[in-house]
Amino acid sequence: MKSEKPRVAIQGIRASFHEEAAFRFFGEDIITVECNSFKQTFDVLKAGKADYVVMAIENSIAGSILPNYSLMLSYSFPVVGEVYLPIQLHLMALPGVKFEQIKTVTSHPIAIRQCGDFLDEYPDLRVVESSDTAACAKRIRDEKLTDTVAIANTLAAKLYDLEILERRIESNKKNFTRFLILTTHENAKVNNPDKASLCFQVSNEVGALAKVLNIFAEQGINMSKIQSMPVLGKPSEYNFYVDVEWEDNKKYDQSIKQILKYTHNFNIMGEYRRHEEEGISLRERPKTDSNKKKYIEVKKLSTLK
């Protein structure tokens, strides 16, 4: 019998930032499906071994994760939500380990770069890069390493029984990563969407892209992001990935009808509810109960076959 809990595929292991993002969107009553790569998360969704994928798409410091746009286009799974997660990094070790015992710091290379100011204060520490922040914490626990610390989140410290020696060691305290929630087409119904991720190409001539962008402006549609990537094997041709937000659904529909005249290979990659922002800080998603209600509605839709 299939579990009523949503099975959520993530890149990395439990207590990674991907699982933290999954908890924020679905609540903690989920089954986490650990995957070694972003491609594997799509493969397990395609094979029916997961119901959803949570995938990082951009970071406020490091920028867009470009290969993930190509994955989205290749697999064509719809986007049904997004989460902005504050990236808070802590230094953690086995309980009882003192700072003066530390010889090695290990973490994901991006996390290491984000903690450069802190690490510069301790030039004698050996820095070792790894594939996953949570995996570094797990290794310290499993191998009982008393001379090594990991840079990871509070979930990792809790799950792997580590003690936080230094909190918030990231250089930029306003660091966020945006995660997308993807699922199968059967589960893709979202009520009252107000944001969409689009992909299209335009002709290689003066003003072609401007025509599309002006249509959004004329209809009062906010374009929150635009990302271009070369089309593989076609010099001078680009895919444009655009995120748009709206208040009036009729104006959004009208803008889509108009831009179809000026684009080709047009694809709506997903229509969903945007994660609300409030200044620089971000509002919390609705509490777990409302997320459960949304999930139950989606489950009902998937069983009506």
The pLDDT of residue 52 is 98
pLDDT score of 71 more than 80 = yes
H or E segment and range at residue 259 = helix 249-259
* Banded pLDDT at 234 (limits 50, 70, 90): confident
Q: Which carries the bigger pLDDT value, residue 233 or residue 120?
A: 120
* Banded pLDDT at 277 (limits 50, 70, 90): low
Rounded-to-integer distance, Cα 138 and Cα 161, Å: 9
Give me the mean pLDDT over the 234-262 stretch: 95
Rounded-to-integer distance, Cα 99 and Cα 92, Å: 10
Model pTM? 0.86
- The answer to whether residues 225 and 60 touch, using CB atoms and an 8 Å cutoff, is no
Give me the mean pLDDT over the 187-200 stretch: 95
What is the Rg, in whole angstroms, of the alpha carbon atoms belonging to the chain?
Answer: 21
| Lowest model confidence (mean pLDDT) among 184-188, 277-281, 285-289 | 285-289
* Banded pLDDT at 302 (limits 50, 70, 90): very low
Residue 42 structure tokens: 């799509």
Rounded-to-integer distance, Cα 95 and Cα 126, Å: 21
- Torsion angle (degrees, nearest 10) of CA 11, 17, 23, 25: -80
* Banded pLDDT at 2 (limits 50, 70, 90): low
pLDDT score of 287 more than 60 = no
The pLDDT of residue 265 is 95
Give me the mean pLDDT over the 202-208 stretch: 88
Q: Which carries the bigger pLDDT value, residue 26 or residue 284?
A: 26
pLDDT score of 179 more than 60 = yes
The pLDDT of residue 236 is 82
- The answer to whether residues 145 and 160 touch, using CB atoms and an 8 Å cutoff, is no
**Percent of the chain with pLDDT strictly greater than 90:** 83
Rounded-to-integer distance, Cα 65 and Cα 70, Å: 10
pLDDT score of 278 more than 60 = no
pLDDT score of 138 more than 50 = yes
> What domains lie within the chain, and their CATH numbers?
1-87+176-190+274-305 (3.40.190.10), 90-166 (3.40.190.10), 193-272 (3.30.70.260)
* Banded pLDDT at 229 (limits 50, 70, 90): very high
Parallel, antiparallel or unpaired: strands 52-59 and 63-64: antiparallel
| Cα 284–Cα 289–Cα 292 angle in degrees, nearest 5 | 105
The pLDDT of residue 275 is 93
| Residue 92, beta-bridge partner list | 150, 164
The pLDDT of residue 3 is 61
The pLDDT of residue 296 is 37
| Lowest model confidence (mean pLDDT) among 77-91, 104-118, 223-237, 282-296 | 282-296
Give me the mean pLDDT over the 6-22 stretch: 97
pLDDT score of 300 more than 90 = no
Rounded-to-integer distance, Cα 193 and Cα 188, Å: 11
pLDDT score of 280 more than 80 = no
Cβ neighbours of 39 (radius 10 Å): 15
